[in-house]
Amino acid sequence: MSLNAERSYKMKLRDVENAFKYRRIPYPKRSVELIALLAISCTFFLFMHTNKLNSRLKEMEVKLQPSEFSALGLTGNHISGHDAGKHDDINTLHGTYQYLKSTGQLGDLTPRRLNNTAKAEMDRLFFARCAKVGSESLMEFMEHLQDINNFRVDRTGFNKRTKRQLKPLAQAEVAGYVYNMEEGSVYIEHIPWIDFNEYNLPKPIFINLVRDPVERMISWYYYVRNSYRNAIFYRNNPLAPLKPTAWFKKSFNDCVRSGDPECQYVPLAVTDKEGNFKRQSIFFCGHDQDCL
């Protein structure tokens, strides 16, 4: 190959390399629009999440600050960018604070006044657990800790009962049972509050849980229709009449609409056709007739 021919070949090869190196690939117009749309969507997505994160950070800031609000045991759950200007709304943290301050209730909501542990007269924990409030989880947690921290948990009680109210003698028996437990023990039972001082006994440390009343009733409704629970009941009570299949499959909404007895709340009613624990407040009120 001559020198000129070799030089011409190299120039052509260089031209081909440059063509591939600087080539432009045309994109269809719709592809360009799609890329632009994706970019705008991502920007909007990041903006929304950043705004939400900013609101949550403000809530956490209120919760973590040792301010008058946190001293009251209040949280910033209702604080957000939308509520910032609603200073008089009772549903906002600032509105709640102003309401309590104007009604003179501010001094009654301090942790020191709300904590009943310091007011206890003996070292026993009385968990008078409300029905269907998640107390099973707390009970299991206590049973897990008893071996670690060397204390006793009694969940069977003086006598297992399902009555909503007890006569004075039965209350005195339960109170005496708790009093005779070892120091540091935990007593757990579905039972309303008992006034230990009425029976000349020191009062224990009372704890309990609460739940949204409607959600609690719905939980109870489906709990009594649980197939496993009813299988145990019919095994222990073989002569009991069987519930129809429709009773197990009925939804809570249909039960309310059809006016079934277990889904009716009758004010001032002392007995119910279908046994239940509709009144959450009875666990805190006690065994007096007025509590019904």
For residue range 155-179, what is the model confidence (pLDDT) as tens digits? 877 666 556 788 899 999 999 999 9
Q: What is the pLDDT of residue 60?
A: 57
The three-point CA angle 126-128-129 to 5° equals 130
Q: What is the pLDDT of residue 171?
A: 92
**131 and 209 Cβ atoms separated by less than 8 Å:** no
**129 and 280 Cβ atoms separated by less than 8 Å:** no
Tell me how far apart the alpha carbons of residues 171 and 287 are, in angstroms, rounded to a whole number: 9
Sheet holding 153-154, edge to edge: 153-154, 186-188, 125-127, 205-207
Residues ≥6 apart with Cβ < 8 Å to 166: 174, 191, 192, 287
Burial class (CB in 10 A: 0-12, 13-18, 19+), 44: exposed
- Look up 82 and say whether it is catalytic: no
Residues ≥6 apart with Cβ < 8 Å to 32: none
Q: Say which of 78, 94, 144, 190 is annotated catalytic.
A: 190
β-bridge partners, 126 = 187, 206
**178 and 268 Cβ atoms separated by less than 8 Å:** no
Q: What is the pLDDT of residue 202?
A: 96
Q: What is the CA radius of gyration of the chain?
A: 34
Tell me how far apart the alpha carbons of residues 187 and 120 are, in angstroms, rounded to a whole number: 15
Q: What is the pLDDT of residue 267?
A: 75
Tell me how far apart the alpha carbons of residues 219 and 226 are, in angstroms, rounded to a whole number: 11
Q: What is the pLDDT of residue 107?
A: 63
Phi/psi region, residue 77 (left: phi>0; alpha: psi -120 to 50; beta: rest), is alpha
Query: Which residue numbers in the chain have pLDDT < 70?
Result: 1-36, 42-97, 100-101, 104-109, 158-163, 270-277
Residues 178-220: pLDDT tens digits?
A: 999 999 999 999 889 999 999 999 999 999 999 988 888 888 8
Alpha carbons within 13 A on the beta-carbon side of 167: 2
Q: What is the pLDDT of residue 117?
A: 83
